[in-house]
Amino acid sequence: MTTLFISDLHLDSDRRDIGNQFLDFLKHDASEAEALYILGNLFEAWVGDDDPNAHYAVIKLALRKLFDHGVPVYFMRGNRDFLIGNQFASETGVTILPDPFRVTMYGEKALLSHGDLLCTDDLQYQKIRKMTRDPEWQASMLAKPLRDRLKIAKQARQRNPDRGVDSGANIRDVNEAEVQRTIMQHDVDVLLHGHTHRPAVHRIEVGKRKAKRIVLGDWYKQGSVVRWNLGGPRLEQLPR
């Protein structure tokens, strides 16, 4: 059996091609998997579980079908969908994970993360991240009328775009010292994350430890997935 890992789809009604590829992925690849892990930014913007967005409703239904099919789905919030809550989990059947999350995968010790916590050189972003993850700030945001939250999300996307031809151009990469510290702190062999839109497999030596950092890509031009089985993790592109 194989476990699948994806991130940074940034699903949005303006990009139906991404949504269609994801629906096909759920129907075929994911339906035969042991489990599916979504490591953040499944959606381009999430303003609350009460948003009646029709495109998102189709995605939620597909996730529920996969769960009902018997495939566990694990979800980690990203910097675009950090307001996903318990209603979404109940509707889709997904299990929401903290960030980071340590897991043993086919005998290997791994740490899963969205990845933005590793980008410590971007001090302004880290301040924003700390604010938006604060429960009081989130409660205040969710108390606003839906139309106001949608307007705020639109303004935020205009100020901080991470879409386009070079989809990682506006995202700072990870801090290597933070990567090494994180691997040592959590005592893992593999660090798997997304966020930076720079898909790659990095070999890392931390003291006497030999580890790997695997970075998932975004889905703007094609899909990106890590397939992990007894043979180890394998990063692949999914042509559209």
The pLDDT value recorded for residue 209 is: 87
Average pLDDT value for residue range 187-195: 97
Q: 53 to each of 25, 26, 97, 128, 202, how far by Cα in Å?
A: 21, 20, 24, 26, 38
Dig out the tokens for 73 from the structure.
């789905």
Query: Which percentage of the chain shows pLDDT scores above 70?
Result: 95
Fold of 3-98+123-170+218-238: Purple Acid Phosphatase; chain A, domain 2 (3.60.21)
Provide the pairing of β-strand 209-215 with 200-206.
Answer: antiparallel
> At 161, is the pLDDT very low, low, confident or very high (cuts 50, 70, 90)?
low
Give the least confident one: 53-62, 145-154, 157-166, 203-212.
157-166
**Which comes out higher in pLDDT, residue 153 or 68?**
68
Render pLDDT for 21-60 as a digit per residue (tens, 0 to 9).
999 999 999 999 999 999 999 999 999 999 999 999 999 9
- At residue 159, φ and ψ (nearest 5 deg) are -80, -35
How high is the mean pLDDT of the chain? 94
